[in-house]
Amino acid sequence: MAETSESKPSQPQYWRTPLDLDRIKIPHGEVTIITDRCKGCEFCVEYCPRGVLQMSRSFNRKGYHYPEVVKGGSCVDCNLCSMICPEFAIFAEASEPQTVTEAQAREEEGGGTPDGSQPARRQARPRRNPEEKTNEPRSVQ
């Protein structure tokens, strides 16, 4: 599946619209990388839960590839990158948290999309009558 060149900040997906939607604050952070300290271990890239980082093609003064921010708006200031970096070459600073608007939540649900498409739903299995006897062994799932 090809990704689009435009990357909008990702919002949480709700299976229903919360009643306190106007009070929900999503934390955001800004990632700072000290390129000359990095030794290219790629721990920060591998363990970032939001996929904010990727390794650059450029080299630092030590001759290592260093990470670069590709989806800055997706950072949720979890500080996992700074905790896992053995060289203390990366850290995230908290920025102003943003509130989710009802339109964004509706768009994430798929119910209010401009093209009118609905999210795929899982089909319910028919319920088995417990009093009904069958000779088939029950499968464990």
Cβ neighbours of 17 (radius 10 Å): 14
> Does the pLDDT value for residue 36 go beyond 50?
yes
Contacts of 117 (CB under 8 A, 6+ apart): 110
Task: Please state the domain count of the chain.
Answer: 1
Q: What digits encode the pLDDT tens for the residues 47-103? A: 999 999 999 999 999 999 999 999 878 898 999 999 999 999 999 998 887 776 644
Q: What pTM was estimated for this model as a whole?
A: 0.56
Nearest to 47 by CA among 9, 6, 81, 8: 81
Segments forming the whole domain that contains residue 55:
27-97
Establish if 63 belongs to a structural domain: yes
We report the CATH number of the domain holding residue 56 as 3.30.70.20
Dist. CA 106–CA 88, nearest whole Å: 40
Looking at every residue in the chain, the average pLDDT score rounds to 75
> To which H or E segment does residue 131 belong?
none
Per-residue pLDDT tens over the stretch 101-135? 644 654 555 443 344 444 444 455 555 665 666 56
Residue 102 has a pLDDT of: 47
